[in-house]
């Protein structure tokens, strides 16, 4: 996380921006919190969605990553398929789809949501390093309580990865933050409640 925000700073400088805005979802939201805490003078505004300021979410019964969650056993089986060199492409695609469906409010709409190709791409090596090396000690609650820039925090009411309670915690910790809750969303309100999400983006752009 900290090395990545250093990279972001160098990109900002190379592009010639005095300040810019950051919006991140899930682990990207956690990255945004680390960035804002370390480089507060580089940001105009911040948006953080479906995230947490501590690794406690990994133990929460409503998170599929917790052993307390009924879906966790199946999720581990899915990860085994995704990480196996013996899995076929079709098996990986099916496993990835099932994992994604666990994070949708209405899984039957999967094909509708993902009918268009995505331009986004995960930097897997960095995400793996965070997951296996940094996550066990991740707790930035004290750091983010010092963030003073205008911030939007959002989350799906039924988020099965980082449950809503952790977005509420972030909102309470950041003095100038505004909380948006998407009542008919799981972990992907930008897909599940697209129009409401667009309205939030407009609010974000107008934050001062």
pLDDT of 118 above 80: no
β-strand pairing of 151-156 with 43-49: parallel
Mean pLDDT value of segment 80-94: 95
Query: In CATH, what is the architecture of 2-117+139-195?
Result: 3-Layer(aba) Sandwich (3.40)
Helices 2-15 + 27-38 axis angle, to 10:
70
pLDDT (0 to 100) of residue 208 = 80
Mean pLDDT of 74-86: 95
In this predicted model, what pLDDT tens digit does every residue of 127-138 receive, in sequence order?
888 888 999 999
- What residue segments make up the domains of the chain, in order of their start? 2-117+139-195
pLDDT above 90: residue 121: no
- Which pLDDT score, from 0 to 100, does residue 169 have? 98
Strands (E), the chain: 20-25, 43-49, 151-156, 177-182
Q: What 3-state DSSP class applies to 154?
A: strand
The helix-helix angle for 72-83 and 89-101 (nearest 10°) equals 150
Instruction: Record the pTM.
Output: 0.93
Task: Give me the mean pLDDT over the 156-173 stretch.
Answer: 98
Q: Which helix (H) or strand (E) holds 125?
A: helix 124-129
Does residue 116 contact residue 9 with C-beta atoms inside 8 Å? no
- Write the pLDDT tens digit of every residue in 31-67: 999 999 999 999 999 999 999 999 999 999 999 999 9
54 dihedral zone (left: phi>0; alpha: psi -120 to 50; beta): beta
Exposed / middle / buried, residue 141 (Cβ in 10 Å: 0-12, 13-18, 19+)? middle
């Amino acid at each position: 996380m900290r090395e990545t925000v250093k990279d972001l700073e160098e990109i900002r400088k190379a592009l010639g921006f005095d300040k810019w805005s950051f919006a991140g979802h899930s682990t990207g939201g956690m990255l945004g919190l680390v960035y804002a805490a370390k480089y507060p003078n580089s940001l105009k505004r911040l948006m953080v969605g479906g995230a947490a300021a501590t690794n406690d979410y990994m133990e929460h019964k409503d998170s599929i990553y917790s052993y307390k969650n009924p879906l966790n056993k199946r999720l581990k089986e899915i990860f085994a398929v995704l990480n196996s060199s013996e899995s076929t492409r079709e098996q990986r695609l099916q496993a990835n789809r099932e994992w994604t469906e666990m994070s949708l409010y209405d899984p039957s709409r999967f094909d509708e949501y993902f009918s268009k190709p995505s331009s986004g791409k995960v930097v897997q090596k960095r995400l793996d390093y965070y997951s296996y090396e940094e996550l066990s000690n991740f707790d930035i609650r004290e750091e983010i309580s010092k963030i003073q820039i205008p911030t939007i925090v959002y989350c799906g009411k039924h988020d099965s990865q980082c449950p809503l309670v952790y977005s509420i915690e972030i909102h309470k910790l950041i003095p100038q933050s505004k909380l948006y809750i998407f009542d008919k969303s799981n972990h992907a309100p930008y897909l599940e409640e697209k129009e409401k999400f667009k309205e939030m983006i407009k609010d974000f752009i107008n934050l001062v």
